[in-house]
Structure 1
Amino acid sequence: MTGSEVPPSFRLAYVPGVTPAKWARIWNERLPDVPLALLQVPAAEAQDVLRDRAADAGLVRLPVDRTFFSAIPLYTETTVVVVPKGHLVTAVDEVSLGDLADEVVFHPLDDVLGWEQPPGQPAFERPATTEDAIELVAAGVGLLVVPQSLARLYHRRDLTYRPVVDAPQSGVALSWPEDATTDLVEDFIGIVRGRTVNSTRGRTPAQAAAQPKRARPDAAGARRQPAAGKTAGKTGKAGKPTGGSARSGSGGSQGNRRGKPRRRS
C-alpha cells in the first residue's frame, strides 16, 4: 500500500431512536477488515449529511427525497403519548387523539411525526428538542406524542407511555444517494435484509465470484454425474457392449439364456 491509499471504511448515519447495534455486529463479523463508523445525527439533518457525502448511508426517518435518494423501508413505529405515571391516561391500555383534546401537548421543533394539526392544546412555547419536551412532561406541565423508540430513548422512572391508535406514524428506512450505490452499500443492504453470508446479493463482486459452484443433487441426494457417451452407448470392462437391441449374436441380451434343447422329430 502506498502512502496515498486509504483503507476502505463504511460510514453509517443514524437518527435518534434507531438502534443500529445488531447490524453493526453482523457487519464486523462479515467484514472485519472494513471499519464501520457510526454517526448519530438529528433527524432533520440526516438527508443533508447524506447529500454532503459525510456518510455512505443512513438509517433515517421517512419521507426522503426519492429524486435523489434510494430508500429501503425497514419498519413503522407505534406512536405513543408520554405522561407522568400518576396521569389518568395510565388507567387505559391505549388512547385516541380525541382523548388528548383538553390536554396541553408539546410540539417540539424536532418533531418527526409531521402533524397537519398537532393534537391537544398548544403549549406556551415549542420546546427546542424532544429531550427538552420530556423534561417538561416530567415537570407536570403537559404531555408529548412521539414514536415509541424516542419514548424509550428518553425514558425516566417517573414517566410512562400509552399507544395512540389514530396518530400519524414514523417509518424508518435505510437510505443513500442513488448515484452512490457502492459495493459496501450493497453489503449493508444484504445485512439489513437478512441475507446469509453465502448469498451473492449484498456481497462484493469479488466475493461472489470466489464462491465455488456445487453440483446439484438428484432426488436421492447423490450428485449427478455427466452422461457418458450418449451416442456411443455404455461399455463393459473390456470395452465390449454391455447390451444391445439386436437379438442375434453372443453380445445380445438373449445370447446367454439357457433352456432345454428341442427334441427332434
Structure 2
Amino acid sequence: MSAPDSFRLGYVPGVTPGKWARMWADRRPRVSLELVPATTDEAVEQIRAGSLDAGLVRLPIDRTGLHAIPLYTETTVVVVPKDHLLTAADETTIVELADEIVLRPHDDTLGWPDGRPGRAGAYEPATTAEAVELVAAGVGLLVVPQSLARLHHRRDLTYRPLVDAPGSDVVLTWPDAENTELMEEFIGIVRGRTANTTRTPAPKAEPAKRDTRPTKKTPTRRTPPRRGTRRR
C-alpha cells in the first residue's frame, strides 16, 4: 500500500496551527498538511468518518472512539463596547455580570458548572461572529475564549479577563486505533519532540575495532652498577 500524500487536520476558530504546520513542512516535505477549518462538532464527526486524520478542538467532546491529549487552556474573557463600565478595570468577575445581558451563541463550547453568567437575552445568535455584531450594536455582552475575542476584533470593542470563569481547554484528538506513522509524527510535533527524537529503539553500538597495528618495543634499560661494586 502506498504511503499517504497528505495529512488532514481539522481546527476550530481561534486555534492557530501555523507553528505546527511549519514544523511539519520541515520534517515531512513530501506529505502535505491540509488544514481544514471546522467547528468542534464538525471536526469530531469527520474524524470518526475518516475524512480527517486528527483535530484541534475545544472541550467538551464525546470521547467515544477517540484519543485526546490536552494542549493548553485559554483564558476566558468578556467582550464589551469600549465605553462600557467594565473597561474601568483590567479584569472582571462573574458577579459583575449579574445584571448584564450575556449573549449565548449556539456554537458556545464553554462549560458552566454553576450556570452561565448574566441574564439570557431574548435572542440567541447562531454563531459567535453574529454575537460579536450584537455586542457592537449594544444588545449585550459576550463571554468567549480569548483567542475568539482576538479573532473577531473590532475597533469599537474590547475585552477583559473573567478571572473566576472556567478556562477553555484545547486538545488534539484522533481515532482510538493504532497510530499511523504520520499520526505519531504530529503528536511528537505538538508535544515538542525534536526531529532527532525517536520512539524506536536506538541501534546497537558496533563493537570497537581491534587495533592491529604492531606495538613498539620499549628498549630495555640496564641498571648502572653501584659505586664500589666490581662488575664480574
Per-residue Cα deviation, 1:8-57 (whole angstroms, up to 9, x for no partner): 21000101110111111111121111011111111232211111111001
Q: Aligned pair 1:61/2:58, yes or no?
A: yes
Cα RMSD of the aligned pairs, angstroms, is 2.7
Partner of residue 192 from structure 2, selected from 191, 194, 197: 194
Report the TM-score when normalising by structure 2. 0.88
Other-structure match for 2:35? 38
Between Structure 1 and Structure 2, how many residues are aligned?
228
C-alpha separation in 2, matches of 1:213 and 1:8: 32
Other-structure match for 1:108? 105
Report the TM-score when normalising by structure 1. 0.78
C-alpha separation in 2, matches of 1:39 and 1:27: 15
Partner of residue 260 from structure 1, selected from 210, 213, 225: 225
C-alpha separation in 1, matches of 2:5 and 2:93: 49
The question of whether the paired residues in 1 share the 8 Å contact of 2:43 and 2:52 is answered with no
C-alpha separation in 1, matches of 2:62 and 2:71: 17
C-alpha separation in 2, matches of 1:28 and 1:213: 30
SS at 1:18 equivalent: coil
Residue 96 of structure 1, CA deviation: 0.5
C-alpha separation in 1, matches of 2:38 and 2:135: 24
Aligned identity (percent) is: 59
Larger Rg: 1
SS at 1:132 equivalent: helix
Partner of residue 91 from structure 2, selected from 90, 94, 98: 94
The structure whose RCO (Cα within 8 Å, separation 6+) is larger is 2
Residue 257 of structure 1, CA deviation: 4.8
C-alpha separation in 2, matches of 1:22 and 1:105: 34
C-alpha separation in 2, matches of 1:22 and 1:133: 29
The question of whether the paired residues in 2 share the 8 Å contact of 1:44 and 1:110 is answered with no
Q: Residues 140 and 180 of structure 1: is their aligned pair in 2 closer, same or farther, counting only changes over 3 Å?
A: farther
